[in-house]
Amino acid sequence: MDKQDATTPSAQLPEKIGHYLVKKLIGKGGMGEVYLCFDPHTERDVALKRIRPEMHEIPLIRQRFLKEAKIAAQLTHPAILAVYSIEETISDIFYVMPFIQGKTLKTLLAEYRKSKASTIHLVRDFLTVCHAVQYAHSKGVLHRDLKPENILIGPFNEVMIYDFGLAEYADMTDDSFDQMPVLKSHPDLTRVGKIVGTITYMAPERILEKLDTIQSDIYSLGVILYQILTLKHPFRRVSVKQFKQDVEKEKVNDPIDIAPMREIPPLLAKIAMKSLSFKKEERYQSLRDMIADLEHYFEGKADWVFSARLDPKQAGDWEFQETVVLKQTRDWAIYMLSSSLFAGNVKLESNITFQKGSEGIGFLLGVAHKFDQKGLDSGLTVWLMPGQVRLMRAGIVLKIILAPQIEIEESCEVEIEKLYESIQLKINQSLLFHFPIFLPVVGAHVGLVYKDLNYRMKNFSVYQGSYNARIGCLTIPDTFFANQLYEKAYDEYQRIIHSFERRSEGLIAAFRCGLTLLELNRIEEALEAFEKLHKTQKGVLEWLGKGLAYRKLQDMQEEAKCYEIALNLFENDPNLVLIEEEILFRMEQSKEESRIGPYLFALLLIRYRLIDRNHPSIQELVGKLAFPPFLGEFSEEGVIALYLMKGKVLESLGLKEAQNFLETIDDAQSPLMKKFREWILHKPHKEEMGILYNILGAQKNKTLLVPFNEYLPLELKLIR
């Protein structure tokens, strides 16, 4: 352990403390002293901390010392210095810890000030410290004295927090007090009105309000991060009195402005500044959130750069403003596309207040110019309304999420991020959903769509993601793809595949390479590209890609088979949601292509319980298919299976009469076939089975040419 060096003549050192052999004094604090000792029982060096002899008889000091030891002993984390044992005698109190031969962060920062070297690598150690403090918070413990001299870094990159002398339990109640023997046995350890800690690392509320919270520890961590980035303190504080006098003058400058010649990533500077917000409500509300931002930095995720502020009332902000008919609902709505393009990673921020009678508002991302979806239908819409949020693609609803936090006449902060392979929504800084998206977005417009004016909007801002060292490698080919430069996109995807073999980036590049080949109408090569995803962690994308290839070939039967294979192979794969959403999307989208398509995808949705059989879309489809009562009782699944001539499905449902009918359909003289034909041609059933009635009537009169691809298998069979 590397506290302040303390040189004590060997004559003054005790030979033993308990059964431990004293080797040297490591350091002294205000209340205790730390020795390097040898434990003959375990034959190892240990660090031993005891009360300074001149303070041993002071009851409050003894109590505080024991409290520190017992709190530390209750925290078991790799980055919190462990306590082996606590020993108390009439003449001595001490506790024993591992001996780590390292340097404090304070010593390391002093060395870096001399060498002027980069300190960015220390941020990883800082992240370890944050995890340890988060663990302490989960146990109800506030450290209250986080600073570089209380962080030890060993020669093998061990990172340890120690000195819990000022630690306290947070959010104590009468019930939790009884569960904490440390506080129950020492109720007078914290004196009311006493400010404890180090002034230069202390949160304002601790000084002004004598209030300790999780945000107080976060503030101290912000000071440490600021020092790591700049090698300077964010402010100068001489005393509590001086701080109270100058509190309104104290200002924290951006680390980049303070140390422009040092390597300071903007994202880390933002994390430090948010942690150092004067008001605790403006800091991170938990260490989990702070850690998430730090991990985004290490994962290479993009930082957000302000790009534009759009105003629905300013005509110049919008290239396209028209009244359109929405898919599915067939309602009229105002549709607005931005005049500027925002390619790549995009974040939308706004403040919305819905009024009574509002049907909501949709935020558009990645929309191509004037509805030209370039084949993949990947324009995304996040539709917000009181109590509910809908995620849509090309106007088709993929997900419906309950959102009780969106209330009438209650303003809500909206934050939508389309980042790499995902889209997420936060309402009032709370994550509502996070879904994967692997189809590249082919448009670069953002926009709004709404049915009424029963809402108020403030500050509609657009941010774009900066480039980064890792996942951003896909940005360049994705941009080529979005601009229909498919040959260039293909070449770049190929480079990424070879550079990141069997890694996430390479596998996603392989999938998008296949999509590029589809756009080039090189179908066989695309299928080979998707085949490379076989038996990898992105195996779901193989079957999504193959399904899209058969869609390109207008072979819906094979497309549906690909999705069904994925549903069977990847039952517990989190990426299976991509297949589920694609099937739902295709059920709605294929209504514009043929009559058979919606039924193929609807059957998958019902069979695999991806959608409720009472869903309006299912009921609409089934409502168009009447069935004869003499074939048995039919569920929605049975009706669709019969008309698709899916014998195995009917067998699994136990519909034997329907099975027999399909088996004898080629025999015009079979009793079931005769009954069926009579039932169709009987006048009362003309409205119920209008399509088949017209087909059979036209066949009889030979006056109508029937386009076979427009009808279901059963209808085609009957026509033949």
Give pLDDT, residue 525: 96
Q: Which residues pair with 445 in a beta bridge?
A: 367
Per-residue pLDDT reduced to its tens digit, 539-580: 999 999 999 999 999 999 999 999 999 999 998 888 898 899
Structurally, how many domains does the chain consist of? 4
Position 447 in a domain: yes
Return d(Cα 615, Cα 328) in angstroms, integer: 13
CB distance 189 to 68 below 8 Å: no
Contact 366, 378 (CB under 8 A): yes
Task: Report how far apart, in Å, the C-alpha atoms of 234 and of each of 63, 282, 468, 675 are.
Answer: 35, 17, 27, 89
Written in H, E and C, the secondary structure of 257-275 is HHCCCCCCCHHHHHHHHHH
C-alpha pair distances (Å), 466 with each of 266, 302, 343, 442: 10, 5, 11, 19
* 463/303 Cα distance (integer angstroms): 9
Q: Of 404, 439, 469, which residue constitutes the final position of a domain?
A: 469
Among the listed residues 2, 39, 145, 478, the single catalytic one is: 145
Name the token pair of 570. 């990847």
Whether residues 513 and 588 fall in one domain: yes
Structural domain includes residue 204: yes
Handedness of CA 158, 164, 166, 170 (dihedral sign): positive
Residue 236: inside a domain, yes or no?
yes
**How many Cα atoms are found within 13 Å in the side-chain-facing hemisphere of 97?**
30
Q: Which of the 8 DSSP states describes residue 408?
A: B
Residue 5 parent element (H or E): none
Q: What stretches in the chain show pLDDT beneath 50?
A: 1-11, 171-194, 371-377, 469-471, 685-686, 688, 699-704
Q: Are residues 151 and 212 in the same domain?
A: yes
CB 288 within 8 A of CB 231: no
| SS3 state at 307 | strand
Name residues whose C-beta falls within 8 Å of residue 535's C-beta, 6 or more positions apart in sequence.
none
Distance CA 552, CA 674 (A): 40
Please compute Rg for the chain using Cα positions: 34
Q: Do 311 and 294 lie in a common domain? A: no
- Which of 643, 670, 697 corresponds to the end of one domain? 670
Report the CATH number that the domain containing residue 324 is assigned in CATH: 2.60.120.560
Q: Determine which helix (DSSP H) or strand (DSSP E) holds 416, and give its type and residue range.
A: strand 412-419
Decide if 645 is inside a domain: yes
DSSP designation for 585: H
Phi-psi region of 411 (alpha: psi -120 to 50; beta: other; left: phi over 0): beta
DSSP string, 424-476: EEEETTEEEEEEE--SPP---EEEEEES---EEEEEEEEEEEPP-SSGGGGHH
Maximum C-alpha span of the chain: 121
Residue 394 near residue 373, CB atoms below 8 Å: yes
Closest CA to 222 of 164, 289, 154, 153: 289
Of 274, 255, 277, give the one whose Cα is nearest residue 266: 255
Tokens 């930095």 correspond to 297
Q: In the structure encoding, which two tokens stand for residue 422, read together?
A: 């995902």
Q: Is residue 182 located within the same domain as residue 121?
A: yes
Point out the domain boundary residue: 670, 696, 715. 670
**Are residues 687 and 574 in contact, defined by beta-carbon separation less than 8 angstroms?**
no
Domain that holds residue 253: 110-161+176-298
Burial category of 414 from C-beta neighbours within 10 Å (exposed 0-12, middle 13-18, buried 19 and up)? buried
Residue 391 lies in a domain: yes
Helix 287-298 to helix 266-275 angle (10° resolution) is 170
Residues 13, 46: Cα–Cα separation, whole Å: 16
Give me the CATH number covering residue 21. Answer: 3.30.200.20
- How many CB atoms are located within 10 Å of the residue 443 CB? 26
3 state DSSP class of 120? coil
CB of 211 closer than 8 Å to CB of 144: no
Same domain, 244 and 320: no
Inter-residue contact 637 to 649 (CB < 8 Å) = yes
Q: How far apart are CA 249 and CA 549, in angstroms?
A: 64
Give me the pLDDT at residue 165, please: 63
Same domain, 492 and 441: no
Side-chain half-sphere exposure of 313, counting CA atoms within 13 A: 5
pLDDT of residue 188: 34
CATH of the domain at 146: 1.10.510.10
β-bridge pairing 151-153 and 422-427 = unpaired
**Which two structure tokens, joined as six digits, stand for 232?**
């300077």
Are 147 and 285 in the same domain?
Answer: yes
Chain-centre distance of CA 332, in angstroms? 34
Q: Which residue in 658, 673, 581, 665 sits closest to 627, CA to CA?
A: 658
Pair of tokens at residue 693: 């009635």
131 and 208, same structural domain? Answer: yes
Contact 466, 302 (CB under 8 A): yes
Q: pTM value?
A: 0.64
Q: By the 8 A CB rule, do 370 and 338 touch?
A: no
For residue 462, is it within any domain? Answer: yes
Active site (annotated) includes residue 145: yes
Half-sphere exposure of 395 (CA within 13 A, CB side): 19
Together in a domain, 2 and 150: no
Q: Is residue 646 part of a domain?
A: yes
CA–CA separation, 216 and 65 (whole Å): 23
For residue 114, the tally of other CB atoms under 10 A from its CB is 8
216 with 322, same domain: the answer is: no
- Count of CB atoms within 10 A of residue 90's CB? 6
Q: What is the CATH number of the domain that holds 639?
A: 1.25.40
Q: Does 280 share its domain with 180?
A: yes
Q: Are residues 76 and 13 in the same domain?
A: yes
Those residues whose C-beta lies under 8 Å from the C-beta of residue 46, and which sit 6 or more positions away, are 20, 36, 37, 38, 39, 84, 96, 97, 98, 99
On whether residue 706 sits in a domain, the answer given is no
